Structure 1
Amino acid sequence: MTIPVVVLGVGAQSNLDYDLGRMAALDAPVTRFVRAVLDRSATIGVRGEFTERYLNSLGFHDVEVIGCPSMFMYGDRLDVSKGPDRLDGNSRIAVNASRSALGAGDVGGIVTSNFERYPNMRYFAQETKDLELLYWGDRSGVNDQRNRMPLHRTHPLFQENKVRVHLDPATWIESLRDHDFSFGTRIHGNIAALLAGTPAVVLCHDSRTLELCRYFDIPHRRIRDLSAETDAAELYAEADFTAMLEGHSERFSRFTSFLEKNGVDHVHMDGEDAGASFEERVRTTVYPPGVDAWTSAEEGVSARIGWLRRDHADLVTKTSELNKKVRGLEKKVQRIDRLEKRLKRLEASAERTPYRRARRLAGRVLRKIGLRR
């Protein structure tokens, strides 16, 4: 590389115990990557303590913990405060969940049990799979597929149209402003809430969520320590945002210092507008609204559309697999053709050897003298 390279908050992926052994398979490529980065920059920025420890174990010490830039959307300002003293059945609650957390705890049970307590809860989904479910539906109703995790359109959150996928941070954050509380396993789903001023608690399921929560003092719980009946009201009551807010300015200064050390100018430098012009452009831009569940007035139409779409996707997959097999057979036929041609050439070449010619001559002589029929 011949250009400057700056890494802003890379994170290593392991479990809640910060097991370095799980990273062993990546040691060689990570070493090459980090060495290349540090050849072109002063330091490398990491999300938290675990990633710093991992890179230190590989022999790299030009490492700085700077968290994730998303927390500094408003610079050194962060305003989060609790509204009601306690949550009740009328509270507006935002929940988020990740499929990758399913093996770490009963995230589906937590989501579903809280929706039963808080009917005004809304699920803020973040994956393309969820967007497809909202836009097209699926055949879970026909196949009777059900899960406490909102994976299918049969889940009550989908049935009651309480699921949203936002295509832009601006609408996502704005939508979270009128909620009383946010919780779940997605770190950026809850950071979006915090940026909106809404209290949030992260249910940590891996090292990447845990180290960020520790660095920023974001209230959090380890999901493996929670039961399916964990109540959002308890998470809300226990959440203390004092350390997060009091340390935010110092963490922001550390982040901007990292940028300047690596030669990166930014809007918070002297003489700049701290991002005001950009925020004004965002404010005056019309973004598409969050996507909700597609439904139909005619009962059963959405299920049929979902069935057709899934059936089509299955056919496309099967066709692709068959095409691969056909291409494989075609290659085998081509190899057989080449071998047959080579064999014929060898046979023709053998016919032209001195031994063959002598044998044919001897045969003709023997036939002439009557010794060979």
Structure 2
Amino acid sequence: MKKILVRSGMSPLDTLGADEIIKRNTIGNNVGNLIFANSVFRNITTDNVELVSDYYGKNPDDADMINETYDAYIFPLANAIRPGFIPTLKKYTALIKKLTIPVYVIGIGVQFPYEPNIKTKRPFDDDVKNFVKAVLEKSSTLGLRGQITADYLSHLGFKEGRDHQVIGCPSMYTFGNNITIRNLELSDSSSISVNMTPKADQKVLEFLNGLTHKFDNLNFVPQDMDELVLTYAGAPLLGGAINSKLANYPNSLSSHVYKEGKVKYFLNAATWIEHMKTVDLSIGTRLHGNIVPTLAGTPSITIPIDARVRELSEYHNLPRVSSEEINGNTRLEDLIEKVDFHSVEKSHQKNYENFISFLDKIGVNHIYDKNAPGVKQPLEIKLESIQLKQPIGPITTCSSEEMKERLENSFEIMLSKTEKINENYTKEIKAKDKKIEDLNKKLKEKERKIAEALNIFSR
């Protein structure tokens, strides 16, 4: 049996509750990360191949163990080319350089402004170059999320078609080439799913937040870690709530959707996709917030706010409208008239074939071509024997017993995080003390040499 290591915060077979996810941050700060990892696990797992999560391990010292234990290492990455992820990218570069097994990057993208200047010199250009070079020593090419990322890597000196290839997001191929979007007949009783990004323009947030007051059968589906903490515990565990002062955004229990219990935070890919089969329309600024309903056959409208969402929504031809098309007078019906909900179907077959050719090119065996409606794959058969955690709602909607359990767990998490912070602080202090000690030793050595030189000179 072959074993393949996959960069992911958790396996689709893990049944972690909200408290454990918060404690270990197995979603990498955004639950959308579970969706593309789920596709890789589902379609590369076979009777003869086992996939194992690395739980975001990135220690170069683990290289020998990885070489001895695994036959390959797969990196399904998201917007990894961004300042905040560069320290992690550098650690993975150091690890990959020590590996002797194949390394496959199945999806990586940039997080740039909506209209980026690709030729702008960025402080992390060399770090990205080093990562790409390290991967190319272990694989024939890299799979990219979109054309903007391809243009950026080409600007850095890598050749499109040889060193890198646009494949989109692997999450879109979760069920192979089987995507069929249902028709929409909007009414006051329609089930609406809304997703939002705090960085979106205020006019977009005002429009999306306004929908929560107009439709009774509506749910807000948050994705960020601080939103999971808010939903689970009712308040931030440490420090102030992120985005707490942002207008037109559900960021406290006093927000309309939290007060009305219209919040669903999903803890795994399977239940998220299954729920979206019951929804009539999904709309918002989140990429995977709208890819999940697409996989479920649900009509969606994506509002791209940056290059990350733009390049993927364009490549996969997701139904979309720009931020400029939204103002204070915009109605949901207006946006519905502007999009073709079936546009994604028209591009999917070609994109799927391109993705399969990429996997064949890098030598990754898969079952993507065995997907068919109603056919259960090995991973899904395993999932049937597992009780996955259901999405959670606001703590204020819980029974008194569950509320007590959540508060007790939150207190334990807070203590563990406080201990971790203190531990890291102590390490930093010790490291600084060590540097000061080393500097003092060097200074004393210089003083000694100067004294010797003066002594010789005075003779």
Q: Give 1:264 shift.
A: 0.6
* In 2, Cα distance between equivalents of 1:283 and 1:228: 47
Asked whether 1:288 is paired with 2:389, we answer yes
Checking the alignment, whether the CA contact within 8 Å between 1:14 and 1:23 is kept in structure 2 is no
2:288 is aligned with what amino acid? Answer: H
Give the match for residue 89 of structure 1. 188
More displaced stretch, 172-181 vs 237-246: 237-246
SS of the equivalent of 2:122 reads helix
Checking the alignment, whether the CA contact within 8 Å between 2:273 and 2:292 is kept in structure 1 is yes
SS of the equivalent of 1:13 reads coil
Asked whether 1:109 is paired with 2:206, we answer yes
1:237 is aligned with what amino acid? Answer: E
Equivalent pairs, count:
336
Checking the alignment, whether the CA contact within 8 Å between 1:114 and 1:231 is kept in structure 2 is no
Q: Give 1:317 shift.
A: 10
Unaligned runs of 5+ in 2: 1-96
1:109 is aligned with what amino acid? Answer: E
Match for 1:242 among 310, 320, 342? 342
Match for 1:38 among 136, 157, 164? 136
Q: Give 1:324 shift.
A: 8.7
Give the match for residue 8 of structure 2. none
Checking the alignment, whether the CA contact within 8 Å between 2:290 and 2:300 is kept in structure 1 is yes
Give the match for residue 277 of structure 1. 378
* In 1, Cα distance between equivalents of 2:432 and 2:350: 64
Q: 1:158 to 1:39 in 2, by over 3 A?
A: same
Checking the alignment, whether the CA contact within 8 Å between 1:44 and 1:64 is kept in structure 2 is yes
Give the match for residue 179 of structure 2. 78
Match for 1:18 among 112, 116, 121? 116
Q: Deviations over 1:55-103 (max 9, x none)?
A: 111121122111010000110110112231xx2322210011122x23x
1:265 is aligned with what amino acid? Answer: N
SS of the equivalent of 2:297 reads coil
Q: Give 1:208 shift.
A: 1.1
Give the match for residue 263 of structure 1. 363
Q: Deviations over 1:310-341 (max 9, x none)?
A: 998998899789979987997899899999xx
Checking the alignment, whether the CA contact within 8 Å between 1:171 and 1:289 is kept in structure 2 is yes
Checking the alignment, whether the CA contact within 8 Å between 1:126 and 1:165 is kept in structure 2 is yes
Q: Deviations over 1:100-145 (max 9, x none)?
A: x23x4434312221112112210011122111111111289xxx97
Match for 1:124 among 221, 226, 245? 221
Checking the alignment, whether the CA contact within 8 Å between 2:193 and 2:219 is kept in structure 1 is yes
Checking the alignment, whether the CA contact within 8 Å between 1:146 and 1:155 is kept in structure 2 is no
Match for 1:155 among 255, 260, 284? 255
Give the match for residue 147 of structure 2. 49
* In 1, Cα distance between equivalents of 2:170 and 2:119: 28
* In 2, Cα distance between equivalents of 1:6 and 1:138: 40
Q: Give 1:279 shift.
A: 2.6
Q: Which one has a bigger Cα radius of gyration?
A: 1
Give the match for residue 207 of structure 1. 307
Q: Deviations over 1:15-54 (max 9, x none)?
A: 1113225562222111111122222222211111111111
2:155 is aligned with what amino acid? Answer: S
More displaced stretch, 200-209 vs 55-64: 55-64
2:312 is aligned with what amino acid? Answer: L
Q: Give 1:297 shift.
A: 7.7
SS of the equivalent of 2:152 reads helix
2:367 is aligned with what amino acid? Answer: V
Q: Give 1:291 shift.
A: 0.7
Give the match for residue 270 of structure 2. 170
Q: Give 1:237 shift.
A: 3.0
Give the alignment of 1:297-312 within 5 angstroms.
none
Checking the alignment, whether the CA contact within 8 Å between 2:119 and 2:155 is kept in structure 1 is no
Q: 1:44 to 1:326 in 2, by over 3 A?
A: closer
Q: Deviations over 1:259-294 (max 9, x none)?
A: 011011001357999762323333453211101111
Q: TM-score, normalised by structure 1?
A: 0.76
Unaligned runs of 5+ in 1: 354-373
Give the alignment of 1:213-252 within 5 angstroms.
213-252=313-352
* In 2, Cα distance between equivalents of 1:324 and 1:91: 54
CA RMSD of aligned residues (A): 3.9
Q: 1:44 to 1:321 in 2, by over 3 A?
A: closer
Q: Deviations over 1:131-170 (max 9, x none)?
A: 1111111289xxx978320111111011111111110111
Give the match for residue 158 of structure 2. 60
SS of the equivalent of 1:9 reads coil
Give the match for residue 362 of structure 1. none
* In 2, Cα distance between equivalents of 1:3 and 1:194: 35
1:60 is aligned with what amino acid? Answer: F
Q: 1:33 to 1:231 in 2, by over 3 A?
A: same
Q: Give 1:171 shift.
A: 0.7
Q: 1:233 to 1:207 in 2, by over 3 A?
A: same
SS of the equivalent of 2:107 reads strand
SS of the equivalent of 1:11 reads coil
Checking the alignment, whether the CA contact within 8 Å between 2:182 and 2:297 is kept in structure 1 is yes
* In 2, Cα distance between equivalents of 1:82 and 1:260: 35
Q: 1:328 to 1:269 in 2, by over 3 A?
A: closer
